[in-house]
Amino acid sequence: MAANRLLQPVQRPATHRLLRSAATAAAVLLPCSAVLADVVINDFENGSVGGFGWLTGDSRGIQPWSPDNGPANGAVITASSGPLAGSKVLELTGTPAFNFGQSGAAPLGLDIDRPSFFANDQLEFDWYPVPNGGDAGYSQLYNIVINSEAGGFNAAGGYGAGDANANQFYFTGYTGNLHHVVVNYTGIKSNIQSQSGTLSTGGGWLQLAIQPNSGGGAPADMYFDNFKWSVVPNVWNVDADGNWTNDGNWSPNAPNAVGRTALFGPKITAPHIVTVDGAKTIGQINFDNANKYTVAGASTITLDSTSPVGITVSTGSHDINAPLALAKDANIIVGSGSSTLTLSNLQPSTVGITKSGSGALAVNNVRAGSLTVNAGTVSVLTGRSTAGTSKVGAVTVAAGAALDLGNNDLIVDYTGTSPFSSIQSLIKSGYNGGSWTGNGIRSSSAAAGLNGHTTALGYAEASEAGIGAGGGTFSGQSVDNTSVLVRYTYAGDGNVDGKVDLTDFTFLAANFNGSNKNWLQGDYNYDGTVNLTDFTFLAANFNQSLAAEGGSLGSAVPEPTTVALLALGATALIARRRRSW
């Protein structure tokens, strides 16, 4: 295999190490925000080296590590300490110390997946030089190389290419720094693609090669983790309001292509508005500024990529008021508990939406294939109307997370086994004894009530709430009879039709003194039993009506005959209760 000779690593004098050590000690990078056009190469959690090995520099290509191949060994281990503790990592060691600047070879190599390489612009990974208690020495990723038949060994990054983050000096008190290494190979990719014939895809071989180096007393011991290909972001580059389409507002230019990333980063020093002045397609939106970005306008942003799409908020609270369409499954990360991402015009889709991070996501509604809340809160913006009704095929809320419906409704239109029991448990958890502050499915609006009346989240199987095989309508949405309906309504509205009436009383009476009951059967405080507490809720709200469009349709005083019937009903229920003692 043809190969070009690389520069050899250079040991730096001790004075240079001392001058650089303080700066290097502080150079611990925060975890990189997920760019959801990313293609994961290997995170080693399956215990496999996943194709990594020794690049021999000859026709053998990538080979397993062995003494015959060079002074290094690679193996997947579980890190026992440091910032990667508990994670499986690729450990690369040398005996007793090594110099990896060998011509045409590399102790860490990988045959490159060509579609992923050409669809992206960057290689990213985590690198951890293991501390040894010493106070001298250095560890380096001296050369990071793209090796191809089209261009031979081309240095794409590393300390030899000027990347200080690919170097770690050891010093007294060094306990280990995690380096997130980003290698932009755009120029090399363009050169390969400019070749003719099969060379335009790299030729007979296309490989990643990493040539580490340790010396001066540092251990030849390094951890590698989280290798992935990613896209170079297009960065908002003016401290002002502006139109998305204007290339001058971005670096290098305005993003508008499948899989591209728009980064709204540190440039602004005050809140600013970015106007979407024409339909745009990108794969990922990232926010990272304490000052608010508001992405507004009437034109639609479509998130589309060859892999999942998404939005990541690293710092600050930000709004996307422009129509937002999801063409692929979406991961939305709001990392800080003090951050809120507001999507006030999220469009209906059939994709899966996953919310992660301890922060909050506020939406106009969620109409999608599924909603998974792994952490933090997803809340529906208040302002009761059919426009606020959410409809999903499945909903999952992890322990410690919450879905806050506010004063709006939810439909879970399932296939197969009904999620009724799960939704019942999530609402009971969110109710939290009446405070509506629990994890699960909750309603911040129910905590306040309405017009002096107690409100809650009623729930029922559509088939038991009057929706037949032919389907029907609930809160402005078409539903079939394999749906679970959740309505923000008055306590006592057992059949979730928005009214508290004799129908609801009939359900309650039929189940009075029963246990293991649900909302439709008269359990309005989610304790599983139907008793006088539940009857009191119903009586206090009798003849109240709450429309899906908002507001109270009825606060009429019950007719004397109705009052009399309720009184008789209460007497009968009390008598039944006494007989059951």
DSSP characters for 109-138?
Answer: EEE--HHHHHH-SEEEEEEEEPP-S-SS-E
- At 10 the pLDDT is 33
Task: Give 60-109 pLDDT, tens digit per residue.
Answer: 889 998 877 667 899 999 998 888 989 999 999 986 555 655 567 888 99
Beta strands in 171-329 (DSSP E): 179-184, 206-215, 221-230, 234-236, 242-243, 250-251, 261-264, 272-275, 280-282, 284-288, 293-296, 301-303, 309-315, 318-320, 324-326
What are the extents of the domains in the chain?
Answer: 14-230
Q: What is the pTM of this model?
A: 0.74
Mean pLDDT by 10 residues, the chain (581 residues): 35 27 27 51 94 88 82 90 91 71 78 92 93 82 93 91 91 84 94 94 93 86 93 94 98 93 97 98 96 98 92 96 97 93 98 96 98 97 95 97 98 97 98 97 96 96 93 95 97 96 95 96 97 96 81 41 52 52 43
- At 465 the pLDDT is 93
Order of strands, sheet of 324-326, starting from the edge strand that comes earlier in the sequence: 280-282, 301-303, 324-326
> What are 243's strand-pairing partners?
275
- At 238 the pLDDT is 98
Task: Give 113-131 pLDDT, tens digit per residue.
Answer: 999 999 888 999 999 999 8
Report the C-alpha dihedral over residues 40, 112, 88, 47, rounded to 10 degrees.
Answer: 110
- At 231 the pLDDT is 85
- At 105 the pLDDT is 83
Query: Is 14-230 a CATH 3.40.50.300 domain?
Result: no
